[in-house]
């Protein structure tokens, strides 16, 4: 138990409260919900995400070369623009996603070190 409690998970877990939102009406009004919660002085930041950084269950198969069937499972977690900041996730390269960039609003990715190792650094340049 001491190992689990002291292990560096790669993100800050202090002062984080995770609340599942299993209501379609609430999910369709996340900005309204966010603004209501942020009106409380006890809440400083909010991020919406499908999963916590240590509980990512969704994956897709990704191939390095088109037509070559040697892909690996890439686990994915969808989160808003505050996800990296609220969990204090350190980025080793590149930048965090931002609403200031139009392409980030459509689709963009943050990969972990394992993906960088598998695909090689030239894949990301």
* Residues 78 and 49: beta-carbon distance below 8 Å: yes
Concatenate the DSSP letters of all residues of 72-107 into one string.
EEEEE--B-TTHHHHTTPPPSSS----TTSHHHHH-
Sign of CA dihedral 21, 84, 86, 76: positive
Structure confidence at residue 124 (pLDDT): 67
Q: What backbone phi and psi angles, to 5 degrees, belong to 74?
A: -105, 115
CA atoms of 125 and 111, how far apart (whole Å): 13
Residue pair 80/108 in contact (Cβ under 8 Å)? The answer is: no
Note the pLDDT tens digit of each residue in 43-88: 988 888 887 777 777 777 776 666 666 677 777 777 888 888 888 8
Detail the DSSP E strand segments found in the chain. 58-62, 72-76
Domain ranges of the chain: 2-89
Q: 3-class DSSP state for residue 44?
A: coil
**Residue 39 confidence class, pLDDT cut points 50, 70, 90:** very high
Q: What global pTM score does this model have?
A: 0.67
Count the neighbouring beta carbons within 10 Å of the beta carbon of residue 111: 14
Which pLDDT tens digit goes with each residue over 5-23?
676 766 677 778 888 888 8
């Amino acid at each position: 138990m001491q190992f689990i409690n002291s292990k560096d998970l790669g993100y800050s877990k202090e002062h984080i409260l995770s609340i599942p939102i299993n209501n379609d009406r609430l999910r369709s009004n996340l900005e309204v919900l966010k603004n209501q919660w942020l009106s409380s002085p006890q809440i400083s930041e909010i991020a919406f995400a499908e999963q916590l950084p240590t509980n990512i269950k969704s994956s897709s198969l990704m191939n390095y070369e088109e037509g070559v069937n040697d892909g690996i499972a890439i686990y994915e977690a969808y989160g808003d623009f505050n996800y990296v900041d609220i969990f204090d996730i350190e980025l080793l390269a590149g930048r965090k996603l931002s609403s200031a960039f139009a392409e980030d609003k459509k689709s963009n990715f943050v990969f972990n070190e394992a993906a960088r190792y598998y695909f090689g650094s030239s894949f990301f340049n």
